[in-house]
Amino acid sequence: MIGRILVIARNTLLEAVRQKVLNVLLLFGLVMIAASSYFSQVAIDQQIKFVKDFGCGAIGLIGVCIAILSVAQLLPQELHNRTIYTILAKPVRRSEFLLGKFVGVVLLLTLSVALMSIAFAAVLWWQETQGLAAVQADYVHTPGWGKSPELTNMYQHDVAQIVNQVRDPQMVEAILLIFAKLVMAAAMAMLVSTFSTSFIFTVITTCGIYLIGHMESAARDVWLSHGAQATFGQGLFLEMLSLLVPDMNSFTIVDEILDGNVVPWWHTWNLLGYSAVYTGVLLALSELIFEFREI
Amino acid sequence: MDSPVFAAETLGLTKRYPLAWKRRVVVALNKLDLQVRPGEVFGLLGPNGSGKSTTIKLLLGLIRPNEGEARIFGLGPDDLEARRRIGFLPENPYFYGFLTGDETLQFFGKLCGLRGAKLTARINELIDLVSLQNGRERPLRSYSKGMLQRIGLAQAMIHDPDLLFLDEPTAGVDPQGSAQIRDLILRLKKMGKTVIFSSHLLEQVQEVADRVAIFSLGRKVLEGSLDDLLTEKEATLVSVPGELTDARRDELERLLAQSGFTGANVQFSRPRLSLEQLYLRTVEAERQP
């Protein structure tokens, strides 16, 4: 069973890699990340903060495009080209086929996020090098440099600030959380594509659900913050919505990391667990619908 | 006594498609009873939309019946054990255009659980069988229609199945390729395989099928062995070598009259080649060194 899922996953990844549209998207992401350092800011710490915001934003945006677009075209293409017939006539269960396709997309997302993260790390490293050179140049031309211990301490403090800002281990948490969000978006698209009849419908509906997922907590804040004002209907609607649509806004915790605030690992693990459970539920629903779909 | 296990069997198999916007239901297949014995070559005939492809899809478990049941070697079509014993070539097959011929066969072979040297040997064997040596390293998007059909046949046979479903295997293929597919079906028959195929080329069906079923408007209207169905029991054809001169013809007519065969019931005609036979004979003669 695992073997068949992996064979389909490998083929899905190979197909996506050989598709030029996704390569162009990925290239666009890499260029965006690389270009971020050219938007110069006054202070070096602001510049690094900008690069980090821009980099994570680019990974998230390009990643979600890859996740939704690649999943949305999977089933319609298989059905249109009738390639699904030859596969399902082999000793392959429908659930294995769907799971194989999904694992293929997850592998593609892993590859894309890894490549964009490497580019992101390279840009940050370059920023660090530039920043350290600028700080050193500032201090070297300061009168008393090399003689005053106070000046040396200030220099070391500034250097440590840049290094800590760039080499923030919490960035690993941020990338993991972005990745988890992308996997959830792919699972949403997979669920929609099992009952959708077209690529466009899948893309639009998934984007809709994705946006609702982002606005869900805002609606809860507005309607339920003053408990007495929220009607029973509003409460029930929000409860139903939070059950059906994952709360994507929880992942804005990435912004806290980018602002330099400490986000404990247990919080990240909680969110990763939440995304794994939701992905599992969305996939189980997809399997159920696909099992009974006429092909 | 145990009932025989058929290679494929349907009992009252029915498939309906509701057309919600027209508020009516299309009956694609109506109460089909069919038994195909192991080792048989069985032809499904009928015009477009008569239910041939629906029958094949139901037997493969690709679609589900509204009524009745389909069985493959006594098992349900969804049973993986049944799937291990069947191969399928869909009508106008499309495969992943980005894969080469070898990669395609590796992909389907791995799905069937084949690996390593065994898979490589099987691929080599099939490439020779379908004469596709020049397509091994080429992506399928550059294949001609005939080549796609041949790689389709190879993938259907990759796991050496006992039962092959071929949906219009000769559609869009030139007469040469069509004849190769016919020879392949005959070869599979000699190997003891069961083949169920649909085709519009009646002459080809006649050449390879043991039995046929004719479909019309979702119903099986005729079924039987070709010998039974095609033999004119009311007449006998006598063939003699060479041209019959008028004198000899008169003599034969006199002899037949003595035996009681007279008038319009006695006919003399020259045997004719089929156009396919003529084409193949001509093209093959040209290709001889």
Q: Is the pLDDT of residue B231 over 70?
A: yes
Q: Is the pLDDT of residue A204 over 70?
A: yes
ipTM rounded to 2 decimals: 0.82
With contacts defined as CB-CB under 8 Å, which chain A residues touch B80?
Answer: 91, 93
pLDDT of residue B68: 94
Task: Give percent above pLDDT 70 in chain B.
Answer: 93
pLDDT of residue B264: 73
Instruction: Using alpha carbons, list the distances in angstroms from residue B111 to A96, A139, B104.
Output: 11, 66, 11
**DSSP structure string for A73-103:** THHHHHHHHTHHHHHHTSS--HHHHHHHHHH
Q: Is there a contact between A86 and B92 if contact means CB atoms under 8 Å apart? A: no
Task: Give percent above pLDDT 90 in chain B.
Answer: 42
First-to-last C-alpha distance (Å) of chain B = 59
Instruction: Using alpha carbons, list the distances in angstroms from residue A267 to A182, A184, A253.
Output: 18, 18, 9
pLDDT of residue A23: 77
Residue count of chain A: 295
Q: Would you state the structure tokens that stand for residue A165, as one six-digit string?
A: 């800002």
Q: Is the pLDDT of residue A165 over 90?
A: no
Angle between helices A199-224 and A44-72 (to 10 degrees): 130
B89: which strand partners? B166
Q: Which of B158, B140, B164, B145 is nearest to B89 (CA)?
A: B164
B86: which strand partners? B163
Could you read off the pLDDT of A207-238 as tens digits, one per residue?
A: 999 988 888 777 766 666 655 566 777 777 77
* Phi (first) and psi of residue B10, to 5 degrees: -130, 145
Task: Provide the shortest C-alpha distance from residue B225 to chain A (in Å).
Answer: 28
Most confident of A245-259, B185-199, B273-287: B185-199
d(CA A100, CA A90): 14
Confidence tier at A290 by pLDDT (50, 70, 90) = very high
Could you read off the pLDDT of A95-113 as tens digits, one per residue?
A: 999 999 999 999 999 999 9
Alpha helices in chain A (DSSP H): 2-17, 20-35, 44-72, 74-81, 83-88, 94-140, 149-166, 170-195, 199-224, 232-244, 253-258, 265-291
Helix (H, G, I), strand (E, B) or coil at B68: strand
What mean pLDDT comes out for the span A177-182?
95
Burial A178-212 (b: 16+ CB within 10 A, else e): bbbbbbbbbbbbbbbbbebeebeebbebbbebbeb
d(CA B109, CA B240): 52
Question: CB under 8 Å to B77, separation ≥6 — which residues?
Answer: B58, B59, B60, B61, B70, B71, B83
Instruction: Using alpha carbons, list the distances in angstroms from residue B129 to B104, B109, B261.
Output: 16, 16, 51
Helix (H, G, I), strand (E, B) or coil at B176: helix
pLDDT of residue B154: 93
Q: Would you state the structure tokens that stand for residue A25, as one six-digit string?
A: 């998207």
Measured at the CA of A110, the angle between CA A108 and CA A115, to 5 degrees, comes to 95
pLDDT of residue B278: 67
Angle between helices B275-287 and B175-190 (to 10 degrees): 100
Interface of B with A (CB under 8 A): 57, 60-64, 80, 83-84, 86-88, 90, 92-96, 98-99, 107-108, 110-113, 152, 155-156, 159, 165
Q: Is there a contact between B90 and A4 if contact means CB atoms under 8 Å apart? A: no
Least confidently predicted of A59-68, B152-161, B233-242: B233-242
B162 secondary structure, DSSP code: S
Question: CB under 8 Å to A24, separation ≥6 — which residues?
Answer: none
Question: CB under 8 Å to A234, separation ≥6 — which residues?
Answer: A223, A224
pLDDT of residue A41: 64
Of B61, B98, B159, the CB nearest to A15: B98
What mean pLDDT comes out for the span A189-201?
92
d(CA A148, CA A166): 28
Higher pLDDT, A175 or A51: A175
Q: Please count the residue pairs, one from chain A and one from chain B, whose beta carbons lie less than 8 angstroms apart.
A: 69
| Positions of CATH 3.40.50.300 in chain B | 8-230
Q: Which of A36, A24, A23 is nearest to A120 (CA)?
A: A36
Q: Is there a contact between A90 and B108 if contact means CB atoms under 8 Å apart? A: yes
Confidence tier at A16 by pLDDT (50, 70, 90) = confident
d(CA B158, CA B107): 10
Q: Which of B134, B160, B151 is nearest to B93 (CA)?
A: B151
d(CA A106, CA A184): 10
Mean pLDDT of chain B: 86
With contacts defined as CB-CB under 8 Å, which chain A residues touch B57?
Answer: 85
Q: Which of B73, B74, B75, B77 is nearest to B15 (CA)?
A: B77
Residue count of chain B: 289
d(CA A10, CA A16): 10
Please name the residues between 75 and 114 in chain A that touch chain B, using a CB distance below 8 Å: 81-83, 85-93
Of A18, A81, A90, the CB nearest to B111: A90
Angle between helices B175-190 and B145-157 (to 10 degrees): 10
pLDDT of residue B287: 63
Confidence tier at A271 by pLDDT (50, 70, 90) = very high
B8-230 falls under which CATH superfamily?
P-loop containing nucleotide triphosphate hydrolases (3.40.50.300)
Could you read off the pLDDT of B68-110 as tens digits, one per residue?
A: 999 999 999 989 999 999 999 988 777 898 999 999 999 999 9
Q: Is there a contact between B90 and A82 if contact means CB atoms under 8 Å apart? A: yes
